[in-house]
Amino acid sequence: MENIIKIDFLDRKILYELDRNSRKTASEIAKKYRVHRNVINFRIKKLQENGVIRQFVAMISPTALGLTPYKFYLQLQNLTKEKEETITNLIKELPVYWVARVSGQWDYIIGVLVKNNKEINEIKLKVLELLGEDITKKNISTLVEAPHYYRTYFLEKEELPQTKYWIKQQKSTKTDKTDLEILKLLSNNSRTPIIEIAAKLKLNVKTIISRIKKLEKEEIIYDYRISINLEKIGYKFYKCLISLKKGNPKQIHKFLTYCQQQKNIIHVVECLGNWDIEPEIEIESEQKYYALLQEIREKFKEIIKNIETINIIKEYSYICVPQ
């Protein structure tokens, strides 16, 4: 259990603004909340130093790059420190976008981005080669659609929900080496100054600005957000694995709309695999999580067959563009 960092209302305002646009300047935030720019800069730096803000992320659409996301859910026996090191080394060899240590029926979730079925099969074989004797259960799922929502719970704001899509039906867009280098830099730190990107790529500032605007227009970069260590602020991170018993489009749409309106549901994945929908929930306590879960069961009992809970203990990686 990590030490909880106390954050005040100004910190929450800053986190709220950066979650909506992590490239927003300190001056813009300061002007909105009528405080000095230096105060905002100091607070942002402190939130980073305390480990609350892990990363400033440019959200990149995999489908726009011709990539398909898959997730490996692994249940392992004899999970020793040595085995965990094996998994850490394995992660370094794979085109991962997200890795999490979890509790519940599963032990690890490994998300990868691939160009085709051959690549995902090669990854599966590599996972089996290194961990096969210790895998007691596995599931491989692919993502069909994945909207995410802003963290309005920081300010307890009632506002019209805004949806951005990490995965959606989208044609792949042609990119060159320079585009990919820009995407890598911004996906690792979306607050990287334009002048710094220009210097690293040995291009002029106008070219970089033009390139980024083009990437945004084509929705290759579709958002700028922050990655947060929820445990540091006393929040818990859950994923629900929901199996449906009916494929009624109206009822499913009603459920997805309900998810969009819940301040603590920040991401919903529609997938192909052993279950159908995966809401992700950031919430203050286990009690509040199970109260929300009970409400979901009661409101949507006509279409929901089963809900399995996963608690995300630790996130190891968040990379929008494979290195």
Q: pTM of this prediction?
A: 0.91
Q: Are 9-57 and 174-217 in the same CATH fold?
A: yes
Joined together, the tokens standing for residue 137 give: 């259960």
Taking domain 174-217, whether its CATH number is 1.10.10.10 is answered by yes
Close Cβ partners of 275 (under 8 Å, ≥ 6 residues apart)? 141, 241, 242, 243, 306, 308
Instruction: State how far the Cα of 173 lies from the Cα of 293, in Å rounded to an integer.
Output: 39
Q: How far apart are the first and last CA of the chain?
A: 31
* pLDDT at res. 83: 85
Residue with the two structure tokens 């929705």? 219
pLDDT digits (tens, 9 = 90+) for 29-64: 999 999 999 999 999 999 999 999 999 999 999 999
Q: Write the DSSP symbol of residue 65.
A: G
Signed CA dihedral, 197, 201, 207, 213: sign only: negative
* pLDDT tens, position by position, 269-309: 999 999 999 999 999 999 999 999 999 999 999 999 999 99
Convert the pLDDT of each residue in 229-269 to its tens digit: 999 999 999 999 999 998 889 999 999 999 999 999 999 99
Partners of residue 58 on adjacent β-strands: 224
SS3 sequence of 5-40: CCCCHHHHHHHHHHHHCCCCCHHHHHHHHCCCHHHH
Quick one: average pLDDT of 208-224? 95
Using DSSP's 3-state secondary structure scheme, residue 227 falls into strand
Give the pLDDT score at 69: 93
* 3-state secondary structure at position 233: helix
We find that the CATH architecture of domain 9-57 is: Orthogonal Bundle (1.10)
> What are the residue ranges spanned by the domains of the chain?
9-57, 174-217
In whole angstroms, give the CA distance from residue 180 to residue 269.
26
Q: How does the average pLDDT of the chain come out, rounded?
A: 92
